[in-house]
Structure 1
Amino acid sequence: MMYWYGHDMSGWGYAWMGVGMLVFWAVLIVGIALAVRFAVSDRDRPGRYESPSPQELLAQRFARGEIDENEYTNRLAALRASGVR
């Protein structure tokens, strides 16, 4: 007859099992909290878009070739004179 002597967990086995269970639940709870936080974050909401400044729009038009250098400098000077930022 065969006996399975010595194959059960000792006190340390139960201790490590308890620690492992605590780590498992901690990882699970932190993962869910991070997923919820990411889902409700406001970084991708459509109302958060800032439109470019008038100087940036003017520079973009100049870069695309829609206006020449003379018109760019005249309009830029007019914007700066009016105090638009």
Structure 2
Amino acid sequence: MFWYDHGAGGWAWFAMSVGAVLFWALVITAGVVLFRAFARSAPSGGERTGWPGGRGPAAPTAEQILAERYARGEIEDEEYRRRLATLRASTGGPTET
């Protein structure tokens, strides 16, 4: 059958080398992607969103959005207090004293 030319030629060695490099690059890339997906830093709520079964980040509440707008300077002090009082009155939450 194959009684002659038992060694691989130059192109075969080249193909095997390129194949091995591509295989290990794929394995390392998959490992890095999985590590980064599962080891994300925890958001301010303390939940890890990258772990399986983890919930996504919680939607901000109306009071948080209002506080962010006030912190950015989009609304004035009086308007912030008025809107905050309105929000707390409509939700039945504690009112500001």
With normalisation by structure 2, the TM-score equals 0.46
The aligned counterpart of 1:11 is 10
- What secondary structure sits across from 2:8 in the alignment? coil
| Equivalenced residues, count | 60
Distance in structure 2 (CA, Å) of the matches to 1:38 and 1:19: 28
Distance in structure 1 (CA, Å) of the matches to 2:32 and 2:25: 11
Structure with the bigger RCO (C-alpha within 8 Å, sep 6+) is 1
Moved more, 9-18 or 36-45: 36-45
The aligned counterpart of 1:33 is 32
- Aligned-partner residue type, residue 49 of structure 1: A
Q: Which runs of 5+ in 2 are unaligned?
A: 49-56, 64-78, 88-97
Q: Which runs of 5+ in 1 are unaligned?
A: 55-78
Instruction: Return closer, same or farther for 1:9/1:25 CA change in 2, 3 Å cut-off.
Output: same
Identity in percent: 23
Instruction: Return closer, same or farther for 1:24/1:3 CA change in 2, 3 Å cut-off.
Output: closer
Of Structure 1 and Structure 2, the greater helix share is in 1
Distance in structure 1 (CA, Å) of the matches to 2:25 and 2:33: 12
1:46 aligns with 2:40: no
Instruction: Return closer, same or farther for 1:46/1:25 CA change in 2, 3 Å cut-off.
Output: same
- Aligned-partner residue type, residue 36 of structure 2: R
Task: Give the RMSD, CA atoms, in angstroms.
Answer: 3.4
With normalisation by structure 1, the TM-score equals 0.52
| Residue 40 (structure 1) shift | 0.7
The aligned counterpart of 2:82 is 82
